[in-house]
Amino acid sequence: MLGIDLSGKRALVAGVADAGGFGFAIAKALAEAGARVCVASWPPAMGIFETMLKRGKFDDARRLSDGSLLEFERIYALDAAYDEMSDVPEDIRTNKRYAERGDFSIGGLARAWQSDFGDDSLDILVHSLANGPEVAKDLLDTSRKGYLAALSVSAYSLVSLVNRFGPLMRKRGSVLSLSYLASQQVIPGYGGGMSAAKAALECDTRYLSYQAGRRYDVRVNTISAGPCATRAASATGIIGEYIEHYAEHAPLQEKLTLDEVAYVAAFLSSPLANGITGTVVFVDKGFHAMGMSYG
């Protein structure tokens, strides 16, 4: 029987801070398929995440099909707004939520990974990172600072991660990110420059697939996922309306689940998808295909 087998593969999922988001669901699906999984978490949320794990608060969410619990090989600190510690403002570097986390830059994460696992040690890199501090504002009302912050963390961080982790990846490894339909169509309420950030992410996926494919022999794809009630999505303030609208108007009239996105992520990360790169894969019950819905 043909199945997704990631035995012997090692994955890094960047952007896991709780058990209710795309990043955690993808990490779990990769583990179900046999991969060893590490995660990177935003320093201000990392302490709570680690405490919840230790206290067993995530045990139900961590339960795998064989009854065992998802275990992370490593949990790293990462603030994807910074390529190196020299980029970090003093007030951030000395903040108590950051101060004890060591080098939490993208470059620091890559060096820590290399120290822990060596060269040719990464098979799957998942970018589950997004931040739009002004996402609830209309684009017309977005400040330059808010707009550039959205682009920095939500799009450029993928470029930076591939630049630093590409040399550490095994041949025909997989890089995967998460996009949204607002990159291509107007989604009222999804503001603050996040629509432009997702458009940049998809464009960069195509360029990175070519450049990283030729340079490192790795694949680069992105999933355009429909709305789910994650903590990050709640920042829009109207995520519930998005979910109901999709369920009413999509070809498949039902709510999207995190697992449905995670299973596609596992497939794209596997050798079964070795012929797929530079692609935006829609996982949204077909909503993206609709111009108008009847009935």
Q: Which residues are catalytic?
A: 180, 190
201, 179 Cβ separation under 8 angstroms: yes
> Are the CB atoms for 151 and 203 separated by under 8 Å?
no
> CB-based burial of residue 70 (10 Å sphere; 0-12 exposed, 13-18 middle, 19+ buried)?
buried
Reported residue count of the chain is: 295
Q: In the beta sheet, which residues pair with residue 127?
A: 14, 177
**CB contact set of 218 (below 8 Å; sequence gap of 6+):** 166, 169, 171, 172, 173, 174, 175, 212
DSSP of 21-89: SHHHHHHHHHHHTT-EEEEEE-HHHHHHHHHHHHTTTTHHHHB-TTS-B--EEEEEE--TT-SSGGGS-
CA–CA separation, 170 and 176 (whole Å):
15
- Helix H segments across the chain? 22-32, 43-54, 59-62, 90-93, 96-99, 106-117, 144-151, 157-165, 194-216, 239-249, 258-268
